[in-house]
Amino acid sequence: MTTANVYQQRPGDDVKAETPLHHANLPSLFGKGRNNPGVTLRERKLLGHLTLRGEAHDSAFSGGVHKALGLELPVALGVVSQGELSLQWMGPDEWLLICPRGQEFALEQQLREALAGLHIQVVNVSGGQTLLELSGPSVRQVLMKSTSYDVHPDNFPVGKAVSTVFAKSQLIIRHMAEDTWELVIRRSFADYWWLWLQDASAEYGLAIAE
């Protein structure tokens, strides 16, 4: 029996929700910019983010996670995904689950049911962070300008995710497909990253996608 206070934290669709980049009015920029942009930015807005903690070596834990999510627990610096659902290694006992908007409450309940009785933690952090997707042939150049971490494919293959120092602040870089990278950022830093990415990708051409 858990005493965790589990409740639906997302208000209904009739309640106005502003994304972390609401003030930048990204929809007004859709379809503008160069014809062949080197970098395409997409705000993956208002997704569900859950932090999951538990004992990685406990087969009851890893089995329970697989039962609840259909995803295997990734090992160090890994991210696994299935459709819109992704599970990322954050530390030896911590993972980040990102799911489509509105599914986080159901997934949290599934996880708690499958992991009942174990020493675990599930926290909804959807309000605290957001996801930016960068795609295009010049994304790696933009990342190389911004971080000291080696983003060459030999060192950073698809399916790897690292939390690192980026442009004097800190975020998570995820390599999801050959030319597709994701940045998991703090909500309060969204404007800073937006300004930084505009500046860093200006020379390659930046487009905003829906």
Partner 1 sequence: MLQIFCPHCAELRSEEEFHASGQAHIPRPLDPAACTDEQWGTYMFFRDNPRGIHHELWIHAAGCRQYFNATRDTVTYEIFETYKIGEKPQVTAKPAGAVPEAAAREE
Applying CB under 8 A, does 163 fall inside the site for partner 1? Answer: yes
Phi and psi dihedrals of 36, rounded to 5? -115, 75
Which member of 31, 91, 127, 128 binds partner 1 (CB under 8 A)?
91
Which member of 21, 50, 80, 90 binds partner 1 (CB under 8 A)?
90
Give me the least distance between CB of 53 and partner 1, in Å please.
12
Of 117, 119, 115, which is closest to residue 1 (Cα–Cα)? Answer: 117
Instruction: Compute the C-alpha angle 19/85/141, nearest 5°.
Output: 70
Half-sphere exposure of 188 (CA within 13 A, CB side): 3
Query: Rounded distance, CA 56 to CA 32, Å?
Result: 46
Applying CB under 8 A, does 77 fall inside the site for partner 1? Answer: yes
Phi and psi dihedrals of 137, rounded to 5? -70, -20
Applying CB under 8 A, does 76 fall inside the site for partner 1? Answer: yes
Applying CB under 8 A, does 125 fall inside the site for partner 1? Answer: no
Give me the least distance between CB of 180 and partner 1, in Å please.
22
Residues of this chain that bind partner 1 (CB under 8 A): 76-77, 90-92, 94, 148-149, 162-165, 170
